[in-house]
Amino acid sequence: MNPIELFESENGFGKDDLLLLASIKYWALSFEAKQSESYSRLRRHFMSDDAKAQMQQAHSQAKMIWTDQWYKMTSMLLEIDSTPIAKELLQQKLIQGNLNESKKIAICVELATFTPYSQIDKDASEWRELAYDEQDRKCYLGFCSDLMNEERSKLETAVKEYNLCIERIVKSVSGPDYTWVWVGVGAALLVLSAPYLAGSLGGLRGLRGAARTSAGLAMLGGGSVASGGLGMSGGHVVLMAGGAILGYIPGSTQYKQRLIEMSKEELLLNCGKLYAAIKILGLNSNDMLSICGKALRMQAELESKSDFEFTQANGETAKQLDIKALVMRSFRQLLRGDLK
């Protein structure tokens, strides 16, 4: 089985996998919060040691409040254990999970591309100005890489290639007719997550089914919900690290419709994560050609649906479909090496 076939067949995540992923992020953020000195690098030079210690403690406590609230909301939406897996059991759980290389890569990509400290409650003020600088990110990635028994450079590569992919696709797609106002990863994630991250626990509890799972995945930082197909016996499965694109051809009609309906931001982030996974896997030309073929099929169907919407005088819907088709075209160009 080649790397792509393996990645296609094994990148589906169930509830146990989601609990493991959320728990790793929780403890990695807890570790980062204790070490973080990003409260004010300039002001620290003019503060006494006692003042700096108090400021750092307050900063760390605010980050832990955010992390606790984030996990509470995520676990509620995804219906996983409300208590993270104990930190000392994480490595044991990873071993028990018997993860193959593709699934480990998917987890590494999801860990590396997570953006913490978003505004997850519109009424909360404890974390509105929490910083997450380069030192914080290195601390977080260091915890993740040690736990996963992977070189930190692998996670650093995932971050770099994820950002590069999104930056180049947005630059390619933006123009007089398709202006993409948000130009960065954080902005795209914010638009994707806005309906959930600005809500409250009370409002989110009313969500059901795939909508609830989608909200939980937005809180978790990524992933796409698929229904049926892909060798599953019904129900939902979560596709990580851009697996939504890889699963497009073998997916069911319902699954394909879900992908067609996803927002351009969600599609963009899927492309970024898949690109990061591809760079870590180090695929050969045949594997790359296979992925280009899947992206082309998705692009063609998006364009076909856009044509239909134009004939029905649904111009705005057609335009959104066109933008998503352009995202897939730019993604293919990036894979081929002709998008700079």
pLDDT tier, 102 (very low <50, low <70, confident <90, very high otherwise): confident
Rounded Cα distance, 229 and 232, in Å = 6
What is the pLDDT averaged over residues 85-98? 88
pLDDT value of residue 233: 44
214, two tokens: 């989608």
- Checking if the pLDDT of 153 tops 90, the result is yes
Q: Which residue has the higher pLDDT, 165 or 241?
A: 165
Query: 112-123 burial, b for 16+ CB within 10 Å, e for fewer?
Result: bbbebbbbbbee
pLDDT tier, 266 (very low <50, low <70, confident <90, very high otherwise): confident
218, two tokens: 């937005």
What is the pLDDT averaged over residues 243-249? 75
Cβ pair 110, 239 in contact under 8 A:
no
What is the pLDDT averaged over residues 315-330? 91
- Checking if the pLDDT of 182 tops 60, the result is no
Nearest partner of 331 among 283, 286, 270, judged by Cα: 270
pLDDT value of residue 215: 78
pLDDT value of residue 296: 92
Nearest partner of 133 among 23, 52, 35, judged by Cα: 35
pLDDT value of residue 230: 45
pLDDT value of residue 136: 92
Cβ pair 77, 212 in contact under 8 A:
yes
Task: Return all residues near 188 (Cβ < 8 A) that are at least 6 apart.
Answer: 166, 170, 182, 265, 268, 269
pLDDT value of residue 1: 45
Give the number of other CB atoms < 10 A from CB of residue 166: 26
Rounded Cα distance, 216 and 240, in Å = 13
What is the pLDDT averaged over residues 1-15? 60
Rounded Cα distance, 61 and 63, in Å = 5
Q: Which residue has the higher pLDDT, 64 or 101?
A: 64
Rounded Cα distance, 111 and 178, in Å = 31
Rounded Cα distance, 244 and 213, in Å = 15
User: How many H-runs (helices) and E-runs (strands) does the chain carry?
Assistant: 15, 3
pLDDT value of residue 194: 56
Mean pLDDT of the chain: 80
pLDDT tier, 8 (very low <50, low <70, confident <90, very high otherwise): low
- Checking if the pLDDT of 265 tops 80, the result is yes
- Checking if the pLDDT of 134 tops 60, the result is yes
Q: What is the pLDDT of residues 188-230, one digit of tens each?
A: 555 555 555 555 555 566 677 777 777 788 888 877 776 554 4
Cβ pair 112, 159 in contact under 8 A:
yes
- Checking if the pLDDT of 177 tops 80, the result is no
pLDDT value of residue 231: 44
pLDDT value of residue 127: 59
Rounded to two decimals, what is the model's pTM?
A: 0.86
113, two tokens: 């591309």
What dihedral angle (degrees, nearest 10) is formed by the CA atoms of 262, 267, 270, 272? -160
pLDDT value of residue 37: 79
- Checking if the pLDDT of 106 tops 70, the result is yes
Rounded Cα distance, 142 and 127, in Å = 23
- Checking if the pLDDT of 123 tops 80, the result is no
Percent residues over pLDDT 70 in the chain: 76
Q: Given the structure tokens 């992977």, which residue do they identify?
A: 150
pLDDT value of residue 327: 93
What is the pLDDT averaged over residues 86-94? 91
**SS3 letters across 224-279:** EEEECCCCCCCCEEEECCCHHHHCCCCCCHHHHHHHHHCCHHHHHHHHHHHHHHHH
pLDDT value of residue 126: 59
Cβ pair 107, 148 in contact under 8 A:
yes
74 burial class (0-12, 13-18, 19+ CB within 10 angstroms)? buried
* DSSP secondary structure code for residue 96 in this structure: H
* Number of Cα atoms under 13 Å in the Cβ half of residue 300: 8
Rounded Cα distance, 226 and 278, in Å = 21
- Checking if the pLDDT of 39 tops 80, the result is no
